[in-house]
Amino acid sequence: MLFMNHLFNQLQAIASAYLEIKIKFICWALLLVGLTFNGQAQVLLPPSEVALLRPEAVFDGQDLHAGWVVLVEGEKITAVGPASQVTQPPGARTYDLPGLTLLPGLIEGHSHLLLHPYNETSWNDQVLLESQALRVARATAHATRTLLAGFTTARDLGTEGAGYADVGLKQAISQGIIPGPRLLVATRALVATGSYGPKLSVDADVPQGAQEADGVDGIIRAVREQIGKGADLIKVYADYRWGADGSSQPTFSQDELTLIVQTARSSGRGVVAHATTPEGMRRAILAGVETIEHGDNGTPEIFALMKKRGVALCPTVAANDAISRYRGWQPGQVPLPPRLQQKHESMAAALKAGVPLAMGGDVGVFTHGDNAREMELLVRDYGLTPLQVLRQATSGNAQIFHLADRGRIRAGLLADLVAVAGDPTQDVAALRQVRLVMKGGVLYKQP
């Protein structure tokens, strides 16, 4: 009887071990063969101990270098330079990338992974009618699309009614549960009571798309709460469409905005401000915010103040373009709508003043994965060069967002790398031809 019990236990242990090996084999098979997300195959390979990338050229975050190679060990870049000067270690795996330009992983400066295009579902309905579970499920797909489009980092500036779901999304990405970019999250964002939406009947109190806060005690509590829940930065709406005629008007007072910035800074965090009116922008700039988002109606005087105070502008021209199209505008068939005409005027003033630009499109208003749309429009419609927008989306955003470990191809930095067909320093459309995506030494897409 003892022998039979022993034999049974042995067989059970063998079966359990076999099942564990089989499960591991299936998991690795799925990873190596590639999982399909939204019709795109995701190649998710474990990081090589050593990998040598041999592209046609390397854009290092500032300049283009033909004939350079990049050596990656683990999650870091360990060497970069002319092929003749970089020694390939024994056992290193070589990736030949003829015709491709290798560049730092792109950095998206303004996204909302918990939103999807407004021509699919209105903002009000997304906030009020879609469950958080549905929105998070969508956001996992949005994160994958963003990464496969070559954007290895993204600032996510508000969940728009989904609470702290962006914190969990960031954790799922960093723990390798789902693929996506490295996230900087703003969680709920701050609005003055009564200024935001959705707005329905005056008899109904409905969930808001951001956290309401007012006065000294309320503002300090709200900022500290968001920090405690995992916010990397604080976003504030310095103005919004709550004027008597539906026009955009300032929301928080100067003292309130200054208090928001001071409270956030005491924990080492910066503040970004949604602001489209001259007065809203002025108050936010004087309060000490790091970036102004949108800035649609900025004036030469306001942009001169931004330049003086070192505040960057994230113009989100792609969102303006998308919303105008949703309202029926068709490029080339009718004149620019007033919204876009004003945007052209404010951008011209910002460029003339020399305001530093952050690259960010307000993705979520339009399709995730279409992030390069912002860069294309800046070149096509606003007079920037491909090299300028490429620098903005790499080393420029890294500097503005305090990301010293990325944004350039340099030894010691994170191996967040993207390869595209052609030369993006000459033709911004090359950014649509993503052939390789690496994040932290892990390949998510390869030729």
Which domain CATH number covers 225?
3.20.20.140
User: Do the domain assignments include residue 64?
Assistant: yes
pLDDT of residue 15: 43
User: Do the domain assignments include residue 39?
Assistant: no
- Compute the 3-state secondary structure of the chain and give helix, strand, coil in percent, each to the nearest 5: 40, 25, 40
pLDDT of residue 337: 94
The answer to whether the CB of 114 falls within 8 A of the CB of 127 is no
Residues 98 and 161 in one domain: no
Residues 100 and 115 in one domain: no
Residues 226 and 343 in one domain: yes
* Dist. CA 374–CA 387, nearest whole Å: 14
* DSSP-assigned beta bridge partners for residue 77: 72
pLDDT of residue 49: 76
pLDDT of residue 48: 55
Q: Name the pTM for this structure.
A: 0.90
User: Do the domain assignments include residue 41?
Assistant: no
Residues 149 and 293 in one domain: yes
What are the 10-residue block averages of pLDDT along the chain, 447 residues in total? 44 43 37 42 57 98 98 97 95 96 98 98 98 98 98 98 98 97 98 96 91 98 98 98 95 98 98 98 98 98 98 98 96 89 98 98 98 98 98 98 98 98 98 98 95
pLDDT of residue 28: 38
User: Do the domain assignments include residue 410?
Assistant: no
Structure-block tokens of residue 386: 């491909």
- Tell me how many domains the chain contains: 3
Residues 90 and 115 in one domain: no
* Dist. CA 306–CA 287, nearest whole Å: 12
Question: What range defines the domain where residue 24 resides?
Answer: 2-33
pLDDT of residue 30: 37
The answer to whether the CB of 279 falls within 8 A of the CB of 302 is no
Residues 383 and 421 in one domain: no
pLDDT of residue 2: 40
At 69, which CATH number? Answer: 2.30.40.10
Structure-block tokens of residue 125: 């309905």
User: Do the domain assignments include residue 42?
Assistant: no
Structure-block tokens of residue 252: 């928080």
Structure-block tokens of residue 73: 């060990």
Residues 423 and 384 in one domain: no
CA dihedral sign, ordered 220, 226, 231, 235:
negative
Phi and psi at residue 272, to the nearest 5°: -115, 150
* Dist. CA 108–CA 416, nearest whole Å: 13
Complete DSSP assignment for 189-253: -EE-TTSSS----TT-----SSEE--HHHHHHHHHHHHHHHT-SSEEEESEEE-STTS-EEE-S-
Residues 265 and 358 in one domain: yes
pLDDT of residue 333: 79
Residues 262 and 311 in one domain: yes
pLDDT of residue 17: 43
Residues 80 and 224 in one domain: no
Residues 99 and 215 in one domain: no
Residues 26 and 66 in one domain: no
User: Do the domain assignments include residue 43?
Assistant: no
Residue of 280, 191, 268 whose CA lies nearest to 233: 268
User: Do the domain assignments include residue 145?
Assistant: yes
